[in-house]
């Protein structure tokens, strides 16, 4: 993966002078560690009529994207079928990583087998039979932009980082 471009988030009310200076910003590796370690993830989608929907999912960071599965009749699956834009957030708010991207349903069963192995290594057990028997869906979210917030940063103006991803 090509490293995403790091910058300061747009923050119009902050008492800082916007600049291209990246001093003190988090490296992408900081975000990757949190994406890989998080057990639960928040996913925000939009209902077809525009109302927001927020839910928890299990998932994995794999091949430069966030992957998760869900049932085809769940609200989030229905939402993403109508509007694929979504937001993914890690479970810890004090060291948050937030991804904005498009959810894409993956129907290729050979990829399902690979993602089941990745899931099983992270969560234990075997999710393959459950995924197959439930008629589940596998989704990949490739980030377009990501944000990181580290409440433990010494300097508040350096607590937030933004990463831009090149589109393929």
pLDDT digits (tens, 9 = 90+) for 80-116: 999 999 999 999 999 999 999 999 999 988 898 898 8
Question: pLDDT tens digits, residue range 29-79?
Answer: 999 999 999 999 999 999 999 999 999 999 999 999 999 999 899 999 999
Residue 146: name the closest of 69, 42, 32 by CA. Answer: 32
* Percent share of the chain, pLDDT over 90: 61
Whole-angstrom Cα distance, residue 40 to residue 66? Answer: 12
Mean pLDDT of 8-20: 65
DSSP 15: S
Question: pLDDT tens digits, residue range 53-64?
Answer: 999 999 999 999
User: What domains are defined for the chain?
Assistant: 5-153 (2.30.110.10)
Whole-angstrom Cα distance, residue 64 to residue 43? Answer: 17
54 exposure class (CB count in 10 Å sphere: 0-12, 13-18, 19+): exposed
Residue 55: name the closest of 71, 33, 35, 34 by CA. Answer: 71
Residue-level pLDDT at 16: 56
């Amino acid at each position: 993966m090509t490293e995403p471009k790091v910058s300061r988030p747009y923050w119009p009310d902050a008492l800082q002078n916007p600049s291209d200076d990246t001093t003190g910003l988090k490296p992408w590796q900081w975000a990757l560690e949190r994406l890989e370690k998080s057990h639960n993830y928040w996913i925000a989608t939009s209902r077809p009529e525009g109302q927001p929907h927020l839910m928890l999912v299990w998932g994995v960071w794999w091949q430069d994207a966030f992957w998760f599965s869900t049932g085809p009749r769940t609200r989030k699956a229905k939402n993403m079928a109508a509007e694929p834009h979504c937001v993914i957030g890690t479970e810890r708010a004090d060291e948050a990583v937030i991804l904005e991207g498009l959810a894409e349903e993956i129907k290729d069963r050979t990829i399902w087998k690979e993602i089941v192995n990745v899931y099983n290594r992270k969560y234990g057990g075997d999710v393959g039979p459950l995924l197959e028997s439930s008629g589940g869906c596998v989704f990949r979210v490739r980030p377009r932009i990501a944000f990181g917030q580290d409440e433990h940063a010494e300097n508040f103006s350096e607590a937030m980082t933004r990463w831009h991803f090149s589109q393929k």
